[in-house]
Chain A
Amino acid sequence: MTAPLLTIDALSVTIHGKRILDTIDLTIAPGEIVALTGESGSGKSMTALATMGLLPQVAQATGQISLDGTDLLTLPERRLCAVRGNDIGMIFQEPMTALNPVQTIGAQVAETILQHSPRTPRAMARDKAREALHRCGLDLPLTRYPHELSGGQRQRVVIAMAIALRPRLLIADEPTTALDVTTQAQILDLLQDLTRTEGMALMMITHDLAVVANMAHRIAVMQTGRIVESGPTAQVLSQRTHPYTRALFEASDHRPHLPPRPDNGPLLHAQGVTCTYPLPRPGPFAKRPSFTAVRDVSFHIGRGERVGLVGESGCGKSTLTRALLGLTSIAEGTITLGGKAVFTDHRPNLAVRRRIQVVFQDPYGSFNPRHRVARLITEPFHLLPDPPQGTARDTAVAEALTAVGLSPDDAHKHIHAFSGGQRQRLAIARALIIRPDLIVFDEAVSALDVRVRAQILDLMADLSASYGLAYLFISHDLSVVRGVTDRIMVMRAGRIVEKGPTEQVFTAPRHAYTRTLLDAAPHLPASPGGA
């Protein structure tokens, strides 16, 4: 085995006296892919930032991080600047915001080159930038601005900046978490190619075990600032020695026990729904063009039925959701719930609106931080003709909180007292409190850690049993949809390209796009002894 390129030895980091990293030991050899995995707050990103010398200024680090014999922790800032970008490149999670919006992509890639060899002639720096972008599979004019690129293209630009000088170590912090599955597969291929062809070492940080299962040579599992288990990928995957590793794996492909669907007749009907958006006029007197986000979509949801809607970003699923909720008017077609139109005469129909509720993706942004829980979850009461008052209201609040696994005492707390998973439970309580017939879960578990996600999925299955609730589960993540739905619909470019019973779509997809999605989604190998 070759000598390690990066050796992290007993690294500990404290911030304001709190220990964030606890005696981390890790080595990466040239050409090796090492995955750091664990839930949010486990210290994965902090390990990466420590290696880059980019810890917050208040952080204190002890131990050693040596890159080819040089201890990075004791290096003065000036010499660290020479290492960053030159010897170590780093790519980040959010390609939409990782690029400077006011500079061209060419200038931003060339900056890495000019920064480390300032006397490079401009034209040569540009050529090198073009070459770096080409290596990342992007052959666009250098004069493009980030906002003119898609998420996947932007991530390629970020990677090009990081590898322009052929660094010996590349750190990728959740590089594909914000991307669609097909784009994710391409970016993962690209990263693997780069390590293979350039002998680069790769530290890959991800919360998604399936992503690294097929590409990492070794895996280190982190929990609350420690590495609890590490070893060759195959060994970690098959042995799962540490209980935390086992819990992570089990939660990753958790399938809740979905009760059989009660057949109670139809609930929601969408017939020939088309939604359009006006675009800016090309000239002051030109006709306003429009963009068709949803095109002639028809489907139905039965009472108590659990339906999944899957598609990549920009496919029109958010627009369709807004139309179902009566938040936007539709250009053509009809949407009816229990026979009544959701939207009539450019106004949402309140009698229908109160029978559909929604749970959004971001458990942090969807609550007013100044209100207490009781007020937050009774918000939908304004849709009722005579909302419950006094004790009736208190009872409703207590019931809703109990139903989602929280305590009635939580009603008096503010939202900051709750974790992400608890907030998502509150969001469900808020949806549940007026006893709707249909709840729309819009990427409701995408922002959660795997173990919390598993709990929320269980909760959904329980509620569907106890309340006879129908739900529409919208997600970009096929594996999650599989366990909690009876039927799924696959959407692409504004149309539903395939729909059918969940198992049938997964095992025998008929549309080519569905097959592409299924192939691109990373899989965990089956657990030892079968699940």
Chain B
Amino acid sequence: MLAYLTRRLTSLILSLIAASAVIFLVVEVAPGDPASYMLGINAQPETVAALRDELGLDQPKIQRYLSWVGGMLTGDFGLSYTYRTPVAEMIATRLWISLPLALYALTLAILLAFPAGLIAAATRGRAPDFGVMAFSQLGVAIPNFWFAMLLVLGFAITWRIFPSGGFPGWDNPLQAIRALTLPAVALALPQAAILARVLRSSLIDTLGEDYIRTARAKGLTRRQTLWRHGVRNALIPVLTIIGLQFSFLIAGGIIIEQVFYLPGLGRLIFQSISQRDLIVVESAVMLLVFAVILVNFLTDLAYALTDPRLRKG
């Protein structure tokens, strides 16, 4: 297990180094001058020179890379060119919306998908299975922004249970959670549909295994067999999907953030790109990459906890 952990950690660190190098190269070393790109074609030469100086573009590239990485390690992400505020602060406030939203949506998706997948697998080929499959087909097919607008129409405008958009901040946690509920539901639906399908087919494969028959020969009921021997063995592909979904949800909620006027990370990146604020883009992308790699690492750990065969290096 220890060897497995060291191996995964080594791979995590190497991936981070590789990712930071690629991001740096793409943004800063690619043809064209970042300063003149950020300022647009009509900028004054003096302004460009000032920005070049501020960005330290005259220094050697290696030194710039190292100081960028060093800054990130100490929490200094630089100043946003557009807003003249520290990037770290901007990302932090946005992250406090995007991260809880992603977790909220994923929790909802799992809560929906697990019972649905289990029921479908246990009643394979019969009415409940068809029902679950039909709903999940629908869940995958409906565009989530349209579903989000339906939610707003129903729950915010007609019944007034949840706010239609905006975010009041975390001072009042209850209000904050209420504000995140409709977006989370809109994000969760397609994810739940995918997850339920994966869980169902993985469980059906598992239930055909020899050890399921062994368990039945021991005197376990169908249901006990499903829970004690089926679920854990069926979990590996499900964990893979959950890991991918979480990575996607952190930044992929951009359309939903737009629909609900949520100042999240996706919107920040979108705005920074349209304002050519490369400093923010660079740091935010790096942060996302970090999140994805971290989630992969956690997924690997979850694999090893689930399946003892994977613990050996």
Contact of A282 among B3, B217, B229, B308 (CB under 8 A): B3
Contact of A85 among B7, B218, B228 (CB under 8 A): B218
Chain B contacts for A516, CB-based, 8 A:
none
Q: Does B219 lie at the interface of the complex (its beta carbon under 8 Å from any beta carbon of A)?
A: yes
Chain B contacts with A in 255-290, Cβ cutoff 8 A: none
User: How distant is A338 from chain B, measured CB to nearest CB, in Å?
Assistant: 43
Contact of B218 among A94, A97, A111, A284 (CB under 8 A): A111
Q: Are B308 and A102 in contact (CB under 8 A)?
A: yes
Chain B contacts for A147, CB-based, 8 A:
308-309
Chain B contacts for A78, CB-based, 8 A:
221
Q: Are A115 and B211 in contact (CB under 8 A)?
A: no
Chain B contacts for A158, CB-based, 8 A:
214
Chain B contacts for A111, CB-based, 8 A:
215, 218, 220, 228
Q: Are B308 and A52 in contact (CB under 8 A)?
A: no
Given A92-B210, A101-B233, CB of A84 within 8 Å of CB of B308: no
Cα A147 to Cα B309 in complex, Å, equals 7
User: How distant is B54 from chain A, measured CB to nearest CB, in Å?
Assistant: 41
Chain B contacts for A94, CB-based, 8 A:
210
Q: Are A100 and B211 in contact (CB under 8 A)?
A: yes
Cα A380 to Cα B50 in complex, Å, equals 71
Identity of the chain B residue whose Cβ is nearest the Cβ of A78 in the assembled complex? B221
Cα A284 to Cα B3 in complex, Å, equals 7
Chain A contacts for B221, CB-based, 8 A:
77-78, 81
Chain B contacts with A in 60-110, Cβ cutoff 8 A: none
Cα A87 to Cα B142 in complex, Å, equals 53
Chain A contacts for B7, CB-based, 8 A:
284
Q: Are B211 and A101 in contact (CB under 8 A)?
A: yes
Cα A92 to Cα B214 in complex, Å, equals 8
A-B contact count (CB 8 A): 82
Q: Are A101 and B216 in contact (CB under 8 A)?
A: no
Chain B contacts with A in 196-213, Cβ cutoff 8 A: 209-211, 213
Q: Does A83 lie at the interface of the complex (its beta carbon under 8 Å from any beta carbon of B)?
A: yes
Cα A101 to Cα B212 in complex, Å, equals 11
Contact-residue bracket for chain A: 35 or more
Contact of B308 among A85, A145, A283, A284 (CB under 8 A): A145
Cα A345 to Cα B244 in complex, Å, equals 42
Chain A contacts with B in 94-115, Cβ cutoff 8 A: 94, 97-103, 111-112, 115
Chain A contacts for B228, CB-based, 8 A:
111
Cα A73 to Cα B71 in complex, Å, equals 75
Cα A361 to Cα B25 in complex, Å, equals 54
User: How distant is A204 from chain B, measured CB to nearest CB, in Å?
Assistant: 16
Q: Are A83 and B211 in contact (CB under 8 A)?
A: no
User: How distant is B125 from chain A, measured CB to nearest CB, in Å?
Assistant: 10
Q: Are A284 and B312 in contact (CB under 8 A)?
A: no
Q: Are A99 and B213 in contact (CB under 8 A)?
A: no
Q: Are A84 and B216 in contact (CB under 8 A)?
A: yes
Q: Does B53 lie at the interface of the complex (its beta carbon under 8 Å from any beta carbon of A)?
A: no
Q: Are A54 and B217 in contact (CB under 8 A)?
A: yes
User: How distant is A226 from chain B, measured CB to nearest CB, in Å?
Assistant: 25
Q: Does B296 lie at the interface of the complex (its beta carbon under 8 Å from any beta carbon of A)?
A: no
Given A97-B211, A98-B211, CB of A280 within 8 Å of CB of B218: no
Chain B contacts with A in 114-160, Cβ cutoff 8 A: none
Cα A40 to Cα B177 in complex, Å, equals 62
Chain A contacts for B233, CB-based, 8 A:
100-102
Can you give 21 A-B contacts (C-beta < 8 A)? A52-B217, A54-B213, A54-B217, A77-B221, A81-B219, A90-B217, A92-B214, A97-B209, A97-B210, A100-B229, A100-B233, A101-B233, A101-B307, A101-B308, A102-B233, A111-B220, A115-B224, A147-B309, A280-B312, A284-B3, A284-B7
Question: B interface vs A, CB < 8 Å?
Answer: 3, 6-7, 10, 209-211, 213-221, 224, 228-229, 232-233, 306-309, 312-313
Kindly list the 8 A-B residue pairs having the minimum CB-CB distance in the complex, ordered from nearest: A85-B219, A85-B218, A97-B210, A84-B219, A90-B217, A100-B211, A145-B308, A280-B313
Instruction: A90-B217, A94-B210 given; name 11 further pairs at CB < 8 Å.
Output: A81-B219, A89-B217, A92-B210, A97-B210, A97-B211, A98-B210, A100-B215, A101-B211, A102-B233, A111-B228, A115-B220
